[in-house]
Each structure stands twice: as structure tokens, then as C-alpha cells.
Amino acid sequence: MLKKNINEFNSFFKEINDEWAIVTAGDKFVGYNAMTVSWGGIGVLWNKPVAFIFVRKSRYTLEFMNKSDSVTLSFLGDKYKKEKTLFGRTSGRDVNKFEETGLHASFEPDFNGYFVAEADKVLKLKKLYSTDIDFDNMPESIKNSNYANNDMHVMYVCEVKQYLVNEE
Ligand SMILES: Cc1cc2nc3c(=O)[nH]c(=O)nc-3n(C[C@H](O)[C@H](O)[C@H](O)COP(=O)(O)O)c2cc1C
């Protein structure tokens, strides 16, 4: 994988919305888990390049988001749609998603976390901040259509430490 400047990541909206990402959370000390996400963003906060990730309270991945600062977003092409669907439909509490799909968790010595080896693009992240999303100030229609069961999101702000691209 080649290290690139984050300024060169210019299709985030399409990637996250149409093709989704796999968020991996955790590290070699606490273990890790991964799940599919299609909500989120990249931008700038506190003069740092950051990614915004939204994880519902019910997700197993949330435990690793909270236990570790090491997070990645792995972007895999359309040929991995089936695998990405499995990562978004099953829980790491019940299934080893990597074994089930044949995808591999990759680890590099300069970073404690794991990313998906088969990804075209990877953002290596460091969690900076998290906050619970709550009902205050939320439009009623959003509340009704997204939170009928009260499974609220936690918003994570993570600093982009490295942007990797697989150019093979
Ligand atoms: C296309 C797609 C996008 C998803 N986006 C999110 C998301 O942004 N946030 C979230 O909390 N769950 C999202 N999910 C649901 C989780 O990926 C799913 O509940 C997963 O099974 C959780 O796994 P875990 O229990 O191992 O953490 C999405 C699922 C799919 C299929």
C-alpha cells in the first residue's frame, strides 16, 4: 500500500454512501471487531483532518471503539459487496466475520490497529472524541424514522493519521 496525502481522497461521499466502508476498531492489546458503515464523513476539526463515524449502542464494534483509540476505515471495491453485506448483517459476537468471508485483518508495526488487507483505500485513524447522540434538537421525523427502538448512535471523531492506497 502507498501512503498518500489525505487531500487526494476526493470521493468520500460516493465511497461511503454507495460502496460503504468497513470500520475496524481495536488493537493487538484488546482485540478487535469490524462492521460495515455507510454513514459518516471526513472533514476538518481542531485544525486536524478527521473522520466522523456513527456507531449504534447495540453494536459489538462499539465495545472496541470505546476500549481502544485505534480505528480504521477500509474501502473495498464493488466485487466485495457480498463480504461487506456480511460484515453489516452479522455480529462479531456470533460469527468470526473474517473467517466467514475469507477477508484478512492486516496489521502494520507503525499502528496498533487492524485494517482489511483486501481494501483499495484505508484510513488509519486515532480516536479523539466521542459523544452520545441524543434526542435534543433532533427533528421529530428523523427521530421516528431512525430511532424507534432507541438504539442511539455514538458519534466518534477520529484523527486521520494515514491514508493508504493499494495501486496494484
Ligand atoms: C450498508 C450498511 C451500512 C451500515 N451502516 C452502519 C452505520 O453507519 N452505523 C451503525 O451503527 N451500523 C451500521 N450498519 C449495521 C452494522 O454494520 C451491523 O449491525 C453489524 O452487524 C454490527 O456488527 P457488530 O455487532 O459485529 O458490531 C450498517 C449495515 C449495512 C449493511
Q: Which residues of 89-126 are buried (b: 16+ CB within 10 A; e: fewer)?
A: ebebeeeebbeebebebbeeeebbbbbbbbbbbbbbbb
Closest ligand 1 atom to the C-alpha of 89?
21
Instruction: Tell me the residue range of the domain where 62 lies.
Output: 2-165
Question: What is the C-alpha separation between 36 and 20, in angstroms, rounded?
Answer: 7
Question: What is the C-alpha separation between 125 and 144, in angstroms, rounded?
Answer: 32
Q: How many domains does the chain have?
A: 1
Q: How confident is the model at residue 11 (pLDDT cuts 50, 70, 90)?
A: confident
Please give the average per-residue pLDDT across 92-104, as a whole number.
98
Q: Which of 3, 49, 31 is nearest to 105 (CA)?
A: 31
Read off the pTM: 0.96
- The CATH number linked to 94 is 2.30.110.10
Q: Is 61 in the pocket of ligand 1 (CB under 6 A)?
A: yes
Please give the average per-residue pLDDT across 31-50, as a whole number.
97
> How far does the centroid of ligand 1 lie from the alpha carbon of residue 76, in Å?
15
Q: List, for residues 49-78, the tens digit of each pLDDT value.
A: 999 999 999 999 999 999 999 999 999 999
Q: Is 91 in the pocket of ligand 1 (CB under 6 A)?
A: yes
Q: Is 36 in the pocket of ligand 1 (CB under 6 A)?
A: yes
Contact predicate 154/132, CB 8 Å = yes
Question: Cell for 46?
Answer: 481542531
pLDDT above 90: residue 123: yes
> How far does the centroid of ligand 1 lie from the alpha carbon of residue 37, in Å?
5
